[in-house]
Structure 1
Amino acid sequence: MTDPRPETAPTGTLFRNVRLLDPDLGDGLSASCDLRVSGGRIAATGTLSPAEGETVIDGRGHLLMPGLVNGHFHSSVNHMKGRLPSLPLEIFMLYESPELDDLRPTPREAYLRTMLGCIEMLRGGTTSVQDDCFFVPFPEPEIIDAVARAYLDSGMRARLALDQPEVPELDKLPFLRDLLPPDLAEPLSRPARRSAQELLALYDHLIGHWHGAGNGRIKAAVSCSAPQRVTPEYFAALDALSRTHDLPLYAHMLETRLQRVFGEDCLGGRSLVRYTQDLGLLSERMNVIHAIWVDDDDLDLLADSGCSVAHNPVSNLRLGSGIMRWRDMLDRGIPLCLGVDEAIADDAISMWGVMKTAALIHTLDTPDFDRWPTAPEILRAATTGGGRAMREPGLGTLVPGAPADLVLVDLDALPFVPLNDVARQLVHCESGTSVRLTMVQGEIVAEDGRLTRVDEAALLREAAETFAARRPAMARADKRMERFLPHYRAMYDMASARDVGLRRRLT
């Protein structure tokens, strides 16, 4: 791999007089100490003296914590915040990502929309992201390059995958084939716009050009989108890529009741988790995304596989998908990470909102308050859980040798005055406004609310103008998709009426 932009390691940094986040301590804080960063990694903690040429940052009155990891994300709709009302996933996707040529972005548009997410994340202390990026109408090398370049330029740590279904639309959903009139069924019966071999060639491009760029900050991942959206052969080929290069493999599973019904009607009564296991593809490299409509057998399979589960509570609420089984997963030792999912299904790209929602929504799961999430559990999912899912050893920790992806938080800011319990206040009180500095791989990439590597103001102006000009095309796309709405609604209503033996919603 030839690095598109070779980077030199940043000079060393010494944080002095900081408090370190330690969720396992009574109040979540270490005593005041120093932390040294060298070669992009944490070198030491304790009482340290400045070394020659080292940048010294006085962190008195501040908390130094691991950067947050956005464990699941789709950057492709960063420019669509607030565009759609809350809708069920299968109807939401009609308008979110129709495979229309009118919506094909230019490389510059792909760069700008990705950079919007980088700006929002880095400002608020999210240092790493797993981007399960989808491409409308299909992936192209220059668009892949634009997305990766934005992450490289911003200074973020990122895993990038190509979330592209490979079977016709009618093969992914139950009931729809019988509900659609012939004129509407025909376009949804066509093969996907890119074949498995073409998609694998695009992975060769992604891995060959970008895997390991930015001194290892930018890496590839692979994605089947969801098991029912690809053939078993392509799914197996993705797993082989994952195994060969040690890449995370992203797979949405059982996000909705309708997906549970799909397994009953289209997979011989097997859930998507069981189907994946039967294919021999459930592994510790896999990120299972959402996993809401799972039964006990599914949970046992997930636990035995060693996979991570990416929990996206705000998106799950926005789309009415249901409540994931948080405590049941932790009881089985299933590793959890947290994700925003996407800007259009969260309307912010904030891990702080995700953490608070995750801490609150599961109080509705059981009256046994001993089983409700704790603040330390939430913080671990947002840091070390994300690092594990990304397959980045040490990421999300403050141990020597770990990547120096760090966030400096002002403990004199309002969310922490008075300071009672730092873990609870981080989860329940903080919104990102107290973040004073964000460091990735030993480099300060955001400080005092602004990114250091890019002209943020100019990018925001350009993005505002560019995507305002895109609104007529998006409105035309909405109009074209309206003709499918009654039939998708009928499909959704049929699935909603089905008793699947699980209750993951209030009704």
Structure 2
Amino acid sequence: MDVNAHFQASVKQTDAQPQTVLLSNALIPLADGGYQRADVLLQDGVIKKLAESNTLKAKEGVQTLDCTERMLLPGFVNAHTHSVQQWTRGLIKPLPLELWVMQNIRHEPRGACGWHGSSSFSETPSAVLGLSALHCGLESLLSGCTTVLDHIMIRNLDDLAAVAQAYKALGVRAFLAPMLNDDAVMYQNYIPLVNDGEARNAHARNTGCACCGMGPEGAFRTQPGASDAKKTAAMLALWEAAVERFHDPANGIEIVIGPATAYSASEALLRGAAALRRKYNLCGHTHLLETRAQALMAKQFLPSGSAVRHLHETGFLQGRGTSCAHTIWLEDDEMALMAEAGASCVHNPLSNLRLGSGVMPLDKLLDKGVNVAMGCDGAASGDGQDILEAIKLATTLPCVLSAEYRRWPAARRAALTLAAKNGYQAVGMGGQAGEIVEGACADLTLWDLTALSLLPRTDPLSLLVLGSRTQAAGAGSALHSCWVRGRQVVADGSPCGVDVRQLRVALRALQPEFRDPSITDPATDASTAASEVEYRAAMGLDLEGKQEPTPHALKTYPKYRVLYDETLP
């Protein structure tokens, strides 16, 4: 199978330039409520003029769109995703993050169970990542995203080149964050330590039984896995090489420094990452306190016992465009430190529910002055890249966290503030885009108010967020047009830079067989089975072999993130 041929056939060769276009009589929602009708002139990649309805007259030759039946919105930002997960979406059985991630890595095309068996990591061509980025970016774009931050695990610069080509073809802004770590042994720092691991190991030796853990001879690990200094240097060099080759903000591609987590990145790697950011004025991105298990690992692995403080102490939390995905299990003082550093939290409610991670304390973070943006997360954990689904959950989840209905959010808060304005703030473009004001970047979406999904007429923005998008051929595409940097990337509901039919052909041809989620059970592989044993023991799900009580400091976690008792037994 010629993967590259499929990829190149799916990409249209376009040379779109910034347009001068007059959007006449567009319906524009206001952040504080209500709507206005206005004329909007796009020119030189920005919103050149914003005037009262039907007062601007286009010069000869300037395209004019009658927007009487259109709603104009600022573009949304998908501020956290992993595009390669398009290949495993819908596949992985219900598992918590720490066990799920191993199955995702194993079953993606480059994994141990990938397209070329045990040789998949070396033999799978980089064009695979181009196709998944095209798929991921397309779904984001068609749900209203003009910008995507892709936290992408790469092997080399060829992988990144394919991803960059895909996003350039689509025309969206792409913030590409190579997701790197410097663990000496894979998976060693994905699972928390068992609190009484030493006692359990001693009991197993005395009774002649095996713990079936992740350590030597099936013992439980009793300390975090080591880092590899050579790998640290190699990862820093790979990030810098990525910057030198691909960082091109003027043409819509930015390289972001993206360590996987604070647990799989040594202090040296985090400090080096922070230094690279300062050297090139780069954004930074990482996962942060996504699960209760990660909150436990912070206490076990990090000198301060706090993942937020650790990122701050290494210098990674500070700087332009620092964003941290998930941020569910933060303590109050950690939220305050995020606000002080100017770092953003990225709310990924779909994957947080799918993986049982919990619910971000959205209102509490906003009350403390933290910038909160929206993300879909990877398609294998949210199983899609429709940002409107994430915005819908961000609007509805707070309603079960407080009885005070007067504080329940309207759909426009999540859409206009979190997904648009705050999204651009999260990627270091605060004040430059995400709002419909004169001088802002022309990253805009135009929605068809005659589409069946936006009828009958009530509140169109609420209906866009809270409703559904009917797929019937005669229903009309809700998204009519989209501009990024003033270049039209969607016209009449269709993307300009990708051949959607050819992409469908490629995805069917390259992964032709259906697969059952049972293949992702941890018990199907010795290493993942051992990880599950340690995970269950560490999280108090398997108490049969427990030898010692859990110390109070390791038992307690922030309340109201989950519906069950958050304390560890």
Q: Same fold (TM over 0.5)?
A: yes
Partner of 1:494: 537
Q: Which amino acid aligns with 1:126?
A: C
Q: Do structure 1's residue 134 and structure 2's residue 153 form an aligned pair?
A: yes
Note the C-alpha offset of 1:91. Answer: 0.4
In structure 1, which of residues 148, 151, 155 is the aligned counterpart of residue 164 of structure 2? 148
**Bigger radius of gyration among the two:** 2
Partner of 1:61: 69
Note the C-alpha offset of 1:121. Answer: 1.8
Which stretch has the larger CA shift, 99-108 or 65-74? 99-108
Partner of 1:321: 357
Q: Which amino acid aligns with 1:501?
A: Y
Distance 1:269 1:239 in 2: 19
Name the SS for the 1:437 alignment partner.
strand
Distance 1:434 1:92 in 2: 34
Distance 2:263 2:360 in 1: 20
Q: Do structure 1's residue 71 and structure 2's residue 105 form an aligned pair?
A: no
Q: Do structure 1's residue 394 and structure 2's residue 412 form an aligned pair?
A: no
Q: How does 1:36-435 map to 2 (within 5 A)?
A: 36-46=41-51, 47-98=55-106, 100=112, 102-104=119-121, 105-135=124-154, 139-167=155-183, 168=185, 169-175=187-193, 179-182=213-216, 195-212=231-248, 215-268=250-303, 270-285=305-320, 286-379=322-415, 380-392=417-429, 393-431=431-469, 433-435=477-479
| Structure 1: runs of 5+ lacking an equivalent | none
Q: Which amino acid aligns with 1:505?
A: V
Tell me: CA distance 1:428–1:475, structure 2 relative to 1, closer, same or farther (3 Å). closer
Distance 2:308 2:226 in 1: 27
Q: Which amino acid aligns with 2:556?
A: V
Q: Which amino acid aligns with 2:555?
A: D
Q: Do structure 1's residue 437 and structure 2's residue 481 form an aligned pair?
A: yes
Note the C-alpha offset of 1:194. Answer: 7.5
Note the C-alpha offset of 1:419. Answer: 3.1
Name the SS for the 1:462 alignment partner.
helix
Note the C-alpha offset of 1:352. Answer: 0.6
Distance 2:43 2:345 in 1: 32
RMSD: 2.8
Note the C-alpha offset of 1:356. Answer: 0.5
Could you tell me whether the CA contact under 8 Å between 2:93 and 2:520 is conserved in 1? no
Could you tell me whether the CA contact under 8 Å between 2:72 and 2:445 is conserved in 1? yes
Which stretch has the larger CA shift, 259-268 or 399-408? 259-268
Tell me: CA distance 1:390–1:268, structure 2 relative to 1, closer, same or farther (3 Å). closer
Distance 2:14 2:254 in 1: 14
Residues 89-135 of structure 1 show CA distances to partners (whole Å, capped at 9, x for unaligned) of: 00001101146454433122111111111221222221110111113
Q: Which amino acid aligns with 1:55?
A: Q
Could you tell me whether the CA contact under 8 Å between 2:274 and 2:314 is conserved in 1? no
Q: Which amino acid aligns with 1:150?
A: A
Distance 2:451 2:16 in 1: 34
Note the C-alpha offset of 1:186. Answer: 12
Residues 346-380 of structure 1 show CA distances to partners (whole Å, capped at 9, x for unaligned) of: 11110010001111122222222233333232111
Distance 1:103 1:190 in 2: 26
Aligned residues with identical type, % of pairs: 27
Distance 1:49 1:419 in 2: 29
Could you tell me whether the CA contact under 8 Å between 1:9 and 1:39 is conserved in 2? no
Tell me: CA distance 1:283–1:373, structure 2 relative to 1, closer, same or farther (3 Å). farther
Distance 1:126 1:305 in 2: 27
Note the C-alpha offset of 1:217. Answer: 0.9
Tell me: CA distance 1:116–1:280, structure 2 relative to 1, closer, same or farther (3 Å). closer
Tell me: CA distance 1:501–1:205, structure 2 relative to 1, closer, same or farther (3 Å). closer
Q: Which amino acid aligns with 2:439?
A: G
Tell me: CA distance 1:400–1:51, structure 2 relative to 1, closer, same or farther (3 Å). same
Tell me: CA distance 1:294–1:453, structure 2 relative to 1, closer, same or farther (3 Å). same
How many correspondences in the alignment? 495
Distance 2:344 2:215 in 1: 41
Name the SS for the 1:166 alignment partner.
coil
Q: Which amino acid aligns with 2:367?
A: D
Note the C-alpha offset of 1:19. Answer: 1.0
Could you tell me whether the CA contact under 8 Å between 1:140 and 1:202 is conserved in 2? yes
TM-score by length of 1: 0.90
Distance 2:293 2:29 in 1: 41
Which stretch has the larger CA shift, 369-378 or 455-464? 369-378
Q: Which amino acid aligns with 1:170?
A: Q
Note the C-alpha offset of 1:170. Answer: 2.0
Note the C-alpha offset of 1:260. Answer: 1.1
Name the SS for the 2:47 alignment partner.
strand
Could you tell me whether the CA contact under 8 Å between 1:165 and 1:192 is conserved in 2? no
TM-score by length of 2: 0.81
Which stretch has the larger CA shift, 336-345 or 110-119? 110-119
Tell me: CA distance 1:423–1:458, structure 2 relative to 1, closer, same or farther (3 Å). closer
Which stretch has the larger CA shift, 385-394 or 198-207? 198-207
| Structure 2: runs of 5+ lacking an equivalent | 1-12, 113-117, 202-212, 471-476, 541-553, 565-569
Could you tell me whether the CA contact under 8 Å between 2:14 and 2:497 is conserved in 1? no
Q: Which amino acid aligns with 1:144?
A: L
Distance 2:164 2:230 in 1: 20
